[in-house]
Amino acid sequence: MIALIALIKVIVLVLVILGTVAYLVLLERKVSAYMQDRIGPNRVGPKGLFQPFADILKLVLKEMIVPENANGFIHALAPVISITVALAALAVIPFGNYIVVGGQKISLMIAHVNIGVLYILAMSSLGVYGITLSGWASNNKYSLLGGLRSSAQMISYELSLGLSIIGVLMIDRTLQLDKIVQSQGAWLWNIVFQPIGFLVFVTAAFAETNRLPFDLPEAEPELVGGYHTEYSGMRWGLFFLSEYTNMIVSSALIVTLYFGGWSLPYVNYAAMMPNLAALLQVVTFLAKTGIVIFVFMWVRWTLPRFRYDQLMNVGWKIMLPLAILNLLGTGAVMLALK
């Protein structure tokens, strides 16, 4: 029974994510059009709402070309690694507390583990393999440079990302993401106590998801398309899907760690019917996550791309020292208040 419930959760979550990503692409195109005083997609369906279906159909029908001297197996495996790791990270995201079905409490997390933060960090670390292997297996100089840039970029910013979270873990005294949400309460969100850690985490999240201004692994003007230059059809589509899934994971993690997750000021979920409370929790969590995703899009169409030396300087000379200072400062304050 437990395995069946878990399987249903996985299927529902994957289907929801696939649909969400399709319309996030449309939303981003609309946002960019608005910011640049353009119209954006408006031909396929009313207000362009069927544009995602046209895009998916194009990718499915497009030929998947493999370069003659490429490593065919790894070339095919790399996008699978990227999307698998991205979707796996969603397993520990707490979208809400629980629902009641037939008198049984069912958690709104797929995997209720007590080391959720470490699991997320582990999955983000594995994500670099998909991009690096795709660049190496393509037998293309531009792809190889994109893969090497990605490995250096993601490894560099993972240090700052991990250290920025430790302040939250010290305050909440748990690695379990749902307990981090519960420990923040209605108003005392971790953003109040960890503003520096929050800024470091958000900046590192942009770099980890390869979003502008940190999209150096792709860098179209320099590297044609970077690590996925030699990809087409649905293999390219899997990289695209993994990028947006990673953006969803990062946004959900920001909400969970710093903005109280599903909690709302002046709202007492314990006084409500369990399923009504669960519905409100999910809507609250998704609304907060949607706002953070919009910020990701906003930044992409506002800031120019960094040079690679600037990217590494920011990571090693600014973000890492800030993360360490935040960690030491948090420890000092907690010791003084003990």
* 45 DSSP 8-state letter: S
pLDDT at 1: 67
pLDDT at 196: 93
pTM of the model: 0.91
pLDDT at 220: 67
pLDDT at 302: 87
For residue 127, give the nearest of 239, 22, 3, 9 by alpha carbon. Answer: 239
Radius of gyration in angstroms for the set of CA atoms belonging to the chain, rounded to a whole number? 21
pLDDT at 292: 94
Q: Note whether 235 and 327 are within 8 A (CB).
A: no
Residue-wise burial string across 68-100, b where 16 or more C-beta atoms lie within 10 A, e elsewhere: eebbeeebbbbbebbbbbbbbbbbbbbbbbbbe
User: Average pLDDT for consecutive 10-residue bins of the chain (338 residues)?
Assistant: 79 87 90 89 88 89 84 88 90 85 80 86 87 87 84 86 91 88 82 92 88 76 77 87 90 93 82 85 92 91 84 89 93 87
141: which 2 tokens? 């100089």
d(CA 304, CA 322): 23
pLDDT at 321: 93
d(CA 187, CA 169): 18
Instruction: Determine if residue 103 is left, alpha or beta; phi over 0 gives left, psi from -120 to 50 gives alpha, anything else beta.
Output: left
pLDDT at 285: 92
Whole-angstrom CA distances from 273 to 63, 98, 103, 215, 260 are 52, 11, 13, 45, 21
Q: Note whether 165 and 117 are within 8 A (CB).
A: yes
